[in-house]
């Protein structure tokens, strides 16, 4: 047990040089001759040396981990973002620690604390639905830990953000429904304090006004956008015999709930009712007539966010200006002929 006890001192001793030179060589410092570097690397290899990351971390007071804070890993959108994060981070030599807030502010605070205590190199954050104040992120500033918001960002402009063009997404979704002949379009919206849902709503309003359709407040139905919400909302709509010919859903969960409920009660979704969600895979498996989705590029978003974060981590001066990257959605119209 416990083999691998080779330290830089061992390899220094066997080469009659100093351990600090070995350290420099292993870190590819320019302050070592290529010749001695080669010698040291060869020796290290042959002795089966492996750097003790714990000691290295302590000395540098930082780890090679990137913390990721998301509401839920099981949401398809987030797991595809993580796919992008993982690949980018892995290639750059970082490992990824994933933490779920489960949409609770309390947990989110806790997670940030833990990540700071573990001296992560940087943090990627998509805030929870409960998050209305952002004080807990200040600790990252005070500790000099760079961070990037993605998707669910906060309205503070002085941050690094990688976000979706939610306004255009909402606009496209609504415009699509209008062009399909819908006159009375409902919007299942999210919590009013989250930027992304505010912007999707703005897009919805703009598309209506551009088409000379009157905006009605009662057509906006806000919820936490869980699948269950979709069911409950749709049930109430049907029970109340509310008149509508289109729904623009602000996310996939609520859309799935709505479709499932309609299926359950045996209501055939007519061609002219279209449901537009904001994430790909899960909705695409729910077969309805004329289903169209506004897909978010989750994977690419993960890559962009990680690249931006790493750029900030690598930056020595700490004076990089805050940056906001906006990504576009894709409207995907599905074949309505499938049964």
Partner DNA sequence: CTGTTAGCGCGTTCAA
Partner DNA sequence: TTGAACGCGCTAACAG
Residues at the interface with its own copies (CB under 8 A): 1-4, 50-55, 57-58, 61, 63, 65, 72-74, 76, 79-80, 82-83, 86, 95-100, 114, 116-119, 142-144, 256, 263-264, 266, 268, 281-282, 285-287, 337-339
Which residue's CB is nearer to DNA, number 121 or number 254?
A: 121
Residue 5 near DNA by CB under 7 A: yes
Cα distance from N-terminal residue to C-terminal residue, the chain: 61
Which residue's CB is nearer to its own copies, number 195 or number 282?
A: 282
Which residue's CB is nearer to DNA, number 32 or number 207?
A: 32
Which strand (E) or helix (H) includes residue 297?
Answer: none
Q: In what order do the strands lie in the sheet with 292-295?
A: 220-222, 185-189, 246-249, 275-277, 292-295, 330-333
Task: Yes or no: say if 43 and 72 are a contact pair by the CB < 8 Å rule.
Answer: no
Which partner from the list its own copies, DNA, none does 74 bind, CB cut-off 5 to 8 Å by kind? Answer: its own copies
Burial class of residue 270 in the structure, from the number of CB atoms within 10 Å of its CB (0-12 exposed, 13-18 middle, 19+ buried): exposed
Question: Per-residue string for binding with DNA, 58-87, x by CB under 7 A?
Answer: xxxx--------------------------
Which residue's CB is nearer to its own copies, number 107 or number 193?
A: 107
Residue 27 near DNA by CB under 7 A: yes
Distance of CA 150 to the CA centre of its chain: 5
Burial class of residue 192 in the structure, from the number of CB atoms within 10 Å of its CB (0-12 exposed, 13-18 middle, 19+ buried): exposed
Which partner from the list its own copies, DNA, none does 262 bind, CB cut-off 5 to 8 Å by kind? Answer: none
- Provide the sign of the torsion angle of the four alpha carbons 52, 315, 147, 110, taken in this order: positive
- Give dist(CA 312, CA 321) in Å, integer: 10
Q: What does residue 282 show for φ and ψ, rounded to 5 degrees?
A: -60, -45
Which partner from the list DNA, its own copies, none does 26 bind, CB cut-off 5 to 8 Å by kind? Answer: DNA
Residue 318 near DNA by CB under 7 A: no
Number of residues that bind DNA (CB under 7 A): 28
Q: Least distance (Å) from DNA to the CB of residue 107?
A: 24
**Count of CA atoms in the C-beta half-sphere (13 A) of 215:** 14
Q: Residue 273 has which token pair?
A: 């009712």
Which residue's CB is nearer to DNA, number 62 or number 185?
A: 62
Which residue's CB is nearer to its own copies, number 201 or number 273?
A: 273
- Give dist(CA 111, CA 117) in Å, integer: 10
Residue 19 near DNA by CB under 7 A: yes
Could you list the residues that contact DNA (CB under 7 A)?
5, 7-9, 16-21, 23-24, 26-27, 30-33, 35-36, 51-52, 55-56, 58-61
């Amino acid at each position: 047990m416990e083999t691998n006890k080779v330290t830089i001192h061992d390899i220094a001793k066997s080469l009659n040089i100093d351990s600090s030179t070995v350290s420099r060589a292993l870190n590819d410092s320019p302050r070592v001759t290529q010749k001695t570097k080669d010698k040291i690397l060869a020796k290290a290899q042959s002795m089966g040396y492996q750097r003790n990351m714990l000691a290295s971390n302590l000395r540098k007071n930082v780890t090679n981990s990137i913390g990721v804070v998301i509401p839920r890993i099981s949401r398809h959108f987030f797991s595809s973002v993580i796919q992008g994060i993982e690949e980018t981070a892995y290639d750059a030599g970082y490992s990824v620690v994933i933490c779920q807030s489960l949409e609770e502010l309390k947990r989110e605070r806790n997670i940030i604390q833990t990540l700071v205590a573990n001296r992560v190199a940087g943090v990627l954050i998509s805030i929870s639905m409960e998050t209305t104040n952002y004080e807990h992120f200040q600790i990252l500033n005070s500790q000099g830990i760079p961070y990037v918001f993605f998707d669910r960002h906060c309205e503070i402009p002085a941050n690094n953000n990688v976000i979706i063009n939610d306004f255009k997404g909402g606009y496209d979704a609504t415009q699509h429904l209008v062009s399909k002949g819908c006159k009375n379009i409902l919007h299942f919206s999210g919590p009013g304090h989250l930027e992304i849902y505010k912007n999707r709503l703005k897009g919805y309003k703009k598309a209506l006004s551009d088409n000379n359709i009157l905006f009605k407040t009662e057509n906006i139905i806000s919820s936490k956008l869980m699948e269950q919400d979709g069911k409950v909302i749709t049930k109430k709509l049907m029970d109340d015999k509310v008149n509508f010919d289109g729904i623009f859903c602000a996310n996939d969960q609520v859309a799935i709930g709505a479709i499932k409920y309609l299926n359950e009660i045996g209501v055939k979704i007519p061609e002219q009712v279209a449901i537009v969600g904001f994430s790909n895979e899960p909705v695409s498996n729910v077969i309805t007539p004329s289903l169209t989705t506004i897909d978010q590029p989750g994977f690419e978003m993960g890559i962009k966010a990680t690249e931006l974060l790493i750029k900030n981590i690598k930056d020595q001066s700490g004076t990089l200006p805050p940056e906001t990257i906006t990504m576009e959605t894709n409207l995907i119209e599905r074949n309505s002929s499938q049964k």
